[in-house]
Amino acid sequence: MTKSDWLSELRAEAPRLGRASTAGRVADVLRTRITEGSLAPGTRLSEEDIGAALGVSRNTLREAFRLLGHERLLVHEFNRGVFVRKLTVEDVRDLYELRRILECGAVRRGAERHAGTATAERWPALLDAVRAAVEEGEAAAERGRWLDVGTANMHFHQAVSALAQSPRVDEAMGHLLAELRLVFHVMAAPQAFHESYLADNRAILELLLAEDFEGAEKAIADYLDAAEAQLVEAYSAAGQVSA
């Protein structure tokens, strides 16, 4: 997609900027573009061009850039401008390292608190969210909506990390998954990639329902190892540099 292509598409979104904080809404628009993949990693975001296309001032736009920079979707190079984040193979490995700690830790802590009495009543709702994500993925696969399968997979892992019942864990996981979307676009065959994990998700859900938390933790760790290996391989094949 050429520069003028997505600039003109961006202009079409300008009318939608009518509510609440301008910077926040600009960030919403750009975030969607980035996670959907229509703004390719490495693209430079000119303050002037985008400000003009969206009809906002540079000051406001810079605030939006800061927001997305904190979410690691953009990188800000001093005196050079902002660019759509380009993840390296090391980033992919690190992302999965953090996922291992967060997701496995969430299951473990959730189980510990479930065993206690204090927050027992919230547990069924948390598992329902996991189940809903599993079924969402299966339904999407049946209808051949592979993009939705990927989204459902995100929901599944967000729901797993929610077992920790910690707002900060939830937020960290949200940012992590948003960053991972940047990676998924380099996959040549996203359908096969996401589809292969539907059964895993279902199995993890069953382990959680059976209260076999050690088994669930192990299953998640195995899934993460497999997914990481697959992504790293695809990444190398796509000729991504490591620096």
Which does residue 11 touch among a copy of itself, DNA, none (CB within 5 to 8 A, set by kind)?
A: none
Given 2, 12, 15, 79, the residue binding DNA (CB under 7 A) = 79
Tell me the pairing of strands 74-77 and 44-45: unpaired
What, of DNA, a copy of itself, none, does residue 47 touch, CB below 5 to 8 Å by kind?
DNA
**134/141 Cα distance (integer angstroms):** 11
Find the binder of a copy of itself among 18, 78, 188, 242 (CB under 8 A): 78
Could you tell me the smallest distance in angstroms from the CB atom of residue 83 to a copy of itself? 17
Q: From the list a copy of itself, DNA, none, pick the one residue 164 interacts with, judged by a Cβ distance below 5 to 8 Å according to partner type.
A: a copy of itself
Applying CB under 8 A, the span of 6-14, 148-156, 161-169, 189-197 interacting with a copy of itself comes to 161-169
Q: Which is nearer to DNA, 21 or 196 (CB)?
A: 21
- Least distance between a copy of itself and beta carbon 64 (Å): 10
Q: Which of 3, 5, 44, 59 binds a copy of itself (CB under 8 A)?
A: 59
Neighbours of 219 (CB within 10 A): 20
With CB cut-offs between 5 and 8 Å by kind, which of a copy of itself, DNA, none does residue 102 bind?
a copy of itself
Distances (CA, A) of 220 to 73, 90, 109, 214: 26, 21, 15, 10
Nearer to DNA, 21 or 236 (CB): 21
φ, ψ dihedrals at 185, nearest 5° = -70, -20
Work out what residue 55 binds among a copy of itself, DNA, none; the CB cut-off runs from 5 to 8 Å by kind.
DNA
The window from 26-34, 90-98, 140-148, 189-197 that contacts a copy of itself (CB under 8 A) reads 90-98
- The single residue among 38, 46, 151, 165 that binds a copy of itself, judged by CB under 8 A, is 165
Q: How far apart are the first and last CA of the chain?
A: 25
Q: Does 243 bind DNA (CB under 7 A)?
A: no
Residues contributing to the site for a copy of itself (CB under 8 A): 20-21, 59, 62-63, 66-67, 70, 78, 94-95, 97-98, 100-102, 104-106, 108-109, 164-169, 172, 176
Residues contributing to the site for DNA (CB under 7 A): 21-23, 44-48, 55-60, 62-63, 76, 78-81
